[in-house]
Every structure is written in C-alpha cells, then in structure tokens.
Structure 1
Amino acid sequence: MKYQLKIIIGSTRPTRKGPIVADWFLKIAQQHPNFDVELLDLKEINLPFMDEPEHPRLQKYTKAHTKKWSKTIDSADAFVMVTPEYNFSYPATLKNALDYLSVEWSEKPMGFVSYGGVSGGTRAVQELKGPVTALGMMPIPQAVNIPFFTQFINEDDVFEANEPLEKSANLMLNKLQNWSKALKNMRKNVAD
C-alpha cells in the first residue's frame, strides 16, 4: 500500500536554505516504495495570516486558499516538516499553516528535518511538538537534525549529506511508514 507523504518547507525567507535541504530529503523519500511524495513550499502556497471567520475545527471555510490547503492536507497520510530554527523556535509561517486547519491534520504522523547551528534545529522541533500534538498528530521521535548545516551545501547550492544524516533520514522514513500504516488503519476503523 502507498501512503501519501507531504514534505513541507517551513521557511519563507528570501535567503532561505530550506528548499536545498528539502530537495535532498525529497530524493531519499522518493526511494521509499511505500510513499507517494509531494513537496509543499509554504512560500509558494503563500497563505495569508489566518483570515477565516470560523474555528478550523468546524471546517466552514470561506476562502479559496483555505479550501485548497484543506484538500491538500486532508489527502495526506503523513508529514515531514523541514524547518530552520529561528530564535529557539520555528518560523511563524509554519505555525500559521498548522493553525489554518484542525481535522485534516488529526491522527496522522509527523516527522521532522531540522537545520541550524550548533543545536541542529532541535529547539524548533521541540517547540513544534506542542501544537502538533494539540492537533491530534503523532510527532515521531526519530528525526533528522542537521547542525552547522551550511557545511553540507556545496558551491552549486546542493546539499551533500554525510552517512549519519543519510541513515537518520532512512530510519525516520521507515518509522514514519509504520506510523502511517497504524494511524491510517485507526482512521479507517473509526470511520467504519
């Protein structure tokens, strides 16, 4: 069975490196035969700050951009957030993207690829686990944390990971597949 995996680039800064990191991870994810993978770039999606009049839990969306975002997220079985660390946390654009919806995120696993300086973005991931859990998602403990990430970007702006990063990416994807299967079965059984 194929699971729908959405990889979300969380940074929208003009000088961001998230797409470079995400491209590397995307190539690894595409090698996993049980995932159909889609890359979602929040800069391209360009959600305005939450502008819906009703609580997302009600799914009474009035804006075309919300309806489109809802459909995209609802179709997923699993997610991976690619996030930098900004001031010991994650980008506001990522929080906004999460807050737009509620039901669509629920009972799905979330993995993390984080990058930064000495902490490798781990503080951003720790901060993300609160809202992710509040949305009813399962943040899996396996993650890819990339410290001093610029050392892996070559002169052609291509991310060249070392063996430990490659191993952590594959381990996380294997665990994400297990959680995808379990939670999809759970969602199906509840719906029946």
Structure 2
Amino acid sequence: MTKRVLVIMGSVRAGRLCPAITQWVSTVGQDKTNLAIEIIDLAEWPLPMDDEPGLPALGLYKQPHSKAWSEKVAQADGFVFVTPQYNWGYTAVLKNAIDHCYLEWKGKPLMIVTYGGHGGGKCAAQLCQVADGLKMRPVFPMPAITLSNAMIRENAPLDEVTFEAALSSVQDGWTALAESLSSST
C-alpha cells in the first residue's frame, strides 16, 4: 500500500516564497520516492487559535474546522513541514496547526525543510523539539535552503543555483522519510 505524506506549507504571508519552495520539495520527493504526496496550504485551512473547549490530546473536537483538520492529519502516514525561519523561529501559523491536534501526529515520521537568509537551522531545532514532544519521528538531514537577500526583500525569483545547492540534502531527507515509513509497517 502506498504511504501518504502531507507536505505542509508553513507560511501564509502575502508575497510568500513558500508555495514555490514547497512545490520544488514535493517534486523532488515524487522523483525520489513512491510516496503519495499531497501539498497542504495552511492559508486554505483557517484554524482559529484557542477556539476548542477541550484539550487536543483528548481528541474531542467540537469545531468543524478542527474535526476536518484532525481527519486530514490522521489520514497521513508521514509529514514534511516546509517553513521559513522568522526571527530565529518558525511561524505562528504552523505552530497553531500543529497544536490543533495531538494524537494524530504520534509515531509518524517528519521531515523538516526550512528556508531563509540563514537557512533555518534554529527553526528546525525548535520544530524538532516540538515533534519530540508529540512523539513524532523526525528524520535527518533537515534540509535548510539559504536564500539571498534579494529573494527575501526584493522578491527576486528563486533560481536554480539556490535549489541545486539544497538538492542533495532534500533528496537525502526524502530517502530517510521513505525508509522511516517502510520500517513502521
């Protein structure tokens, strides 16, 4: 049976680079693995903060959007978070999406792909701690894509040189994710 992986975009800002980077990461995954890959844009998943009366760990969701998100996450076998590094951390929208569930993440492998002017290692470290708390299984490497100042501040197009520099690490991440998924059966 083909394993399902959700590739979750961790940015909803206007003018974001996340869709292009996520599409590229997903294409690398499709070329490298036999996984069923679905891109999730958090901009299409409105998840208001703190609007559930109970704890996510109990799984007793009342809001329709929480129930739908829970079902989407539960159906996946593994995940890839693609997120920018903001002020040495990861985005609030990604944290909120993660915190809307609990048991749905448990035991599932996760590849973390970060990007930014410094690549995103601090962001990845924070996400790794959260994943450990959720009993997820982060895989290594955790690719970090370094963007130029022009790409970040002037909306210069992403170039092949940027992607080529990260290609090996992203391919290795997909290989590790696929191996983790195959060992969990």
TM-score, structure 1 normalization: 0.87
1:41 maps to: 41
Q: How does 1:1-192 map to 2 (within 5 A)?
A: 1-117=1-117, 119-148=118-147, 157=157, 160=160, 161-183=162-184, 185=185
* Alpha-carbon offset, residue 159 of structure 1: 5.2
CA RMSD, 1 decimal: 2.0
- Aligned to 1:38, the other structure's residue is in SS state strand
Paired residue total: 182
* Alpha-carbon offset, residue 34 of structure 1: 2.0
CA contact (8 A) 1:120 1:149 kept: no
CA contact (8 A) 1:80 1:111 kept: yes
Gaps of 5+ in 1: 186-192
The one-letter amino acid of 1:141's match is F
The one-letter amino acid of 2:132's match is T
* Alpha-carbon offset, residue 54 of structure 1: 0.8
TM-score, structure 2 normalization: 0.90
Structure 1 runs of 4+ aligned residues shifted over 6 Å read: 150-153
The one-letter amino acid of 2:126's match is E
The one-letter amino acid of 2:75's match is S
- Aligned to 1:49, the other structure's residue is in SS state coil
CA–CA distance in structure 2, aligned partners of residues 84 and 52 of structure 1? 27
In structure 2, the CA distance between the partners of 1:165 and 1:152, relative to structure 1 (3 Å rule), is: farther
Gaps of 5+ in 2: none
